[in-house]
Amino acid sequence: MPEPLPFDPIAEAARQWRKNWGAAPVPSMVAVTSIMRVEQILTARLNALLTPWDLTFPRYEALMLLYYSRNGSLPLGKMGARLQIHPTSVTNTIDGLQKLGYVERSRHEQDRRKWLAAITERGREVAVASTAVINDARFGTAPLKRRQLQELFEILRELRADEDDFAG
């Protein structure tokens, strides 16, 4: 792991931004840059936690979606909509889970053009074991406190709702 920088690079970017562009856009720039950096940090932490099962966080999300589905299976199109990812990404994610033996793929009974993904018994075992580890690590969110996490969720929810990310 590299040595920590002796300064906050986002704070330095804000200083430069203020100097060259004025103060008005600085809060937006530092917020977006911070969110993007935190996304990198959380992805790395979660992927490291999931390494024992050869999972990435996107694969984990797909596995959990199947784990919680009523019948343990869903059409790939519905999975893409719920995971909010492109159809190609769903296919690649399911391919990876299938190679690991956590998911099986089959044709939809009523519409042979559609594919279903179904969680296997091994997939259920991995979902339970990996979730215990992720829960124990608080989804990699340390040192944030419960109240801070709830506030963060509410703040970001507003932005997601504005994008019509969901109804309600």
Spell out the long-range contacts of 29-33 with Cβ–Cβ below 8 A and sequence spacing 24 or more: none
Per-residue confidence (pLDDT) for residue 133, from 0 to 100: 98
Look at domain 54-135 and name its CATH class. Answer: mainly alpha
Query: Dihedral, CA atoms, 87, 124, 58, 157, nearest 10 degrees?
Result: 100
108 vs 37 pLDDT, higher one: 37
The one-letter amino acid code at 66 reads L
* Mean of per-residue pLDDT scores for the chain: 93
**Residues belonging to the chain:** 168
76 HSE (CA, 13 A, CB side):
24
Neighbours of 24 (CB within 10 A): 9
Per DSSP, the three-state class of 94 is helix
163 vs 116 pLDDT, higher one: 116
Instruction: Mention every residue, 6+ apart, whose C-beta is less than 8 A from residue 53.
Output: 100, 126, 129, 130
pLDDT at 168 over 70: no
pTM attached to this predicted model: 0.87
For the segment 149-162, the average pLDDT, to the nearest whole number, is: 92
Domain coordinates in residue numbering, the chain: 1-53, 54-135, 137-168
Per-residue confidence (pLDDT) for residue 52, from 0 to 100: 98
* E strand intervals along 62-165: 73-75, 103-107, 115-119
For the segment 6-18, the average pLDDT, to the nearest whole number, is: 93
For the segment 81-104, the average pLDDT, to the nearest whole number, is: 95
Per-residue confidence (pLDDT) for residue 60, from 0 to 100: 98
